[in-house]
Chain A
Amino acid sequence: MDFANFDVDQIFGLSDDTNPLLWLIWIIPIVIFMFYGQRIQLQITSGDIKKNIEKLKQLKEESRTGLIDYIKKELKPKADPTEKLDRFISYFTIMPVDMDPNGIIPKVRHTMRSREEYTRSQVKAIFSDIDTLEITKVQNLLEVATTLQLLYKIVNHLFLTAKKQNNYPLILPLQMMLPFIMEEADALKGAIPALKHGQPIGDGIGPMVVGKMMLGTEKQKVAFETVWSQTEHEGRKLYLLKAEGPLATVGRPGDGVEHIVSQYKPDAIIMIDAAVKLEGEDSATVAQGFGAAIGGIGTDRFQIEEIATKNNIPIFAIVIKQSIKEAVATMTKEIADKADETRSQLYEMIAEHTKPGQSILVVGVGNTLGVSQ
Chain B
Amino acid sequence: MFSKKEEKINYTVEKCMSCNNMTTRKFKTGDFLFKETSECQACKGKILIEKIFAETIKA
Q: Which residues of A contact B (CB under 8 A)?
A: 193-194, 197-200, 208, 211-212, 215, 245-246, 329-333, 335-337, 339, 370-373
Contact = CB atoms under 8 A, between A and B. Distances in A.
Contact of B54 (A208, A215, A331): A331
Contacts of A333: 11, 51, 53-55
B10 interface: yes
B53 A332 contact: yes
Contacts of B53: 330-333, 335-336
A200 B8 contact: no
B33 A211 contact: yes
Most buried by A among B10, B27, B32, B33: B33
A246 B30 CA distance: 10
Contacts of A198: 29-32
Contacts of A199: 10, 27, 31, 52, 54
Contact of B51 (A193, A339, A372): A339
B30 to A, nearest CB: 8
Interface string B31-48: 111110000000000001
A211 to B, nearest CB: 6
Given A199-B10, A200-B33, A211-B33, A370 B51 contact: no
A193 B8 contact: yes
Contacts of A208: 33
A215 B34 contact: yes
Contact of A330 (B10, B32, B33): B10
Contacts of B8: 193, 330
A199 B8 CA distance: 13
A371 B34 contact: yes
11 contacts: A193-B8, A199-B27, A200-B33, A212-B33, A246-B33, A331-B52, A333-B53, A336-B52, A371-B34, A372-B32, A373-B34
A250 B8 CA distance: 25
A335 B8 CA distance: 15
A371 B32 contact: yes
Contacts of A330: 8, 10, 52-54
B33 A372 contact: yes
A328 to B, nearest CB: 12
Contacts of B52: 199-200, 330-331, 336, 370
A32 to B, nearest CB: 33
A339 B49 CA distance: 14
Contacts of B48: 215
A133 to B, nearest CB: 9
A333 B52 CA distance: 8
